Amino acid sequence: MKSRAIVLAKRPVGEPDDSCFRLEEHELPELKEGEILIQVLWLSLDPYMRGRMNDAKSYVEPTKIGEVMPGESAGVVVASKSDKYKVGDYVTAYTGWQTHFIIHQDAERLRPVNLKNGTLTMHLGVIGMPGRTAYWGLKEVGKPKAGETLVVAAASGAVGSVVGQMAKIFGLRAVGIAGGPEKCRYVKEELGFDECIDYKSGDLDAKLAAACPNGVDVYFENVGGEVAEAVAKLFNPGARAPICGYVSAYNAKDRSEIKSPFDIFAKAKNVPEHRFFVVTEWDSRWQEATNELAEWVKEGKIKFKESQGEGLDNAPELFRGLLKGKNFGKQLVRISEE
């Protein structure tokens, strides 16, 4: 059995072009006791992958040159020497950009998929890692209270869309920031946010202030840059700011010139309680979040969109599009048909 994989060929300067990626094929070894062979059906593309391409200190080790590009995928077990997983079982796993993968049954972040909770792609999006990121980041770090005002950037994306809809469930005023009138219409009219501001239309400070007449109590940080600067002017005393990421800086050529959310928030009149978080902090409770998110989807309280691309070969171009906001909702790549 052979697997096709996309590996990191070189470290990017700015936007990662095609020379940063290399398609390889390798023979898979025989299964050992306790292992399963996964045929990857869907790959999740997420902004954090851009940071892993840099040789820089982070919360995890950077991807090494020649290593498979990191990422979560959903697939089906096609061979098994495991007493936990049988052929035909669906799973999600951190397998990277490749078509087949051998993994031990006890590996971290290998999880069974219960299709009663939702489709396989939903387990990579709204009820999967992005949904859980929104869930734990808002509940545990954002500490929302009914009547407060929440702002979230990238509001039509896989994480931001769930954050805003959860805010409405919890009784907050939800203000989204997104790029373009179509995304803003979707966020307000279909997802039910109170307001959505198009950051591309100019005059962000004034529009955000008008949308948040009582200031900002919770800011869920996905973007950084000018958006974070505009929000920081409106923080109320006691505000909280969970920092999930800041995609506006991911393709920066000179990282020494980047103003991080930490730099921006520190200069605010009212400095919010803020910290960077990663979803794996609550890994032991992943099922709790998945179950509640799935229930909200079934009840119609959380809606979602998926952008679906085709083929492993197209993953680099789809990834570049994701970093520019070309996707609408969760970005997925169909790797193979079952």
% of the chain exceeding 70 in pLDDT: 96
CB contact at 8 A, 317 and 324: no
Helix (H) or strand (E) holding 271: none
Q: What is the pLDDT of residue 224?
A: 83
Angle at the Cα of 77 from the Cα atoms of 73 and 79, rounded to 5 degrees = 135
Give the list of residues 6+ apart from residue 33 with CB closer than 8 angstroms, or none: 81
Name the phi and psi angles at 281, rounded to 5.
-60, -25
CATH of 129-280, one of 3.30.2350.10, 3.90.226.10, 3.30.390.10, 3.40.50.720: 3.40.50.720
Tens of pLDDT, residue by residue over 297-313, are 999 999 999 999 999 99
As a whole number, mean pLDDT of residues 33-61 equals 89
Give domain limits for the chain.
2-125+305-334, 129-280
Q: What are the structure tokens assigned to 128, written together?
A: 């999967």
Residue 130 confidence (pLDDT) above 80: yes
Higher pLDDT, 257 or 149: 149
pLDDT at residue 59, rounded to an integer: 65
**Considering only 41-55, 119-133, 206-220, 243-257, which range has the smallest mean pLDDT?**
243-257
State residue 254's pLDDT score. Answer: 54
pLDDT-derived band of residue 243, with 50, 70 and 90 as boundaries? very high
CA separation for the pair 106, 75 (Å, rounded):
17
What is the fold, at CATH topology level, of the domain defined by 2-125+305-334? Quinone Oxidoreductase; Chain A, domain 1 (3.90.180)
User: Does residue 147 register a pLDDT over 70?
Assistant: yes
For residue 245, what pLDDT is reported?
A: 78
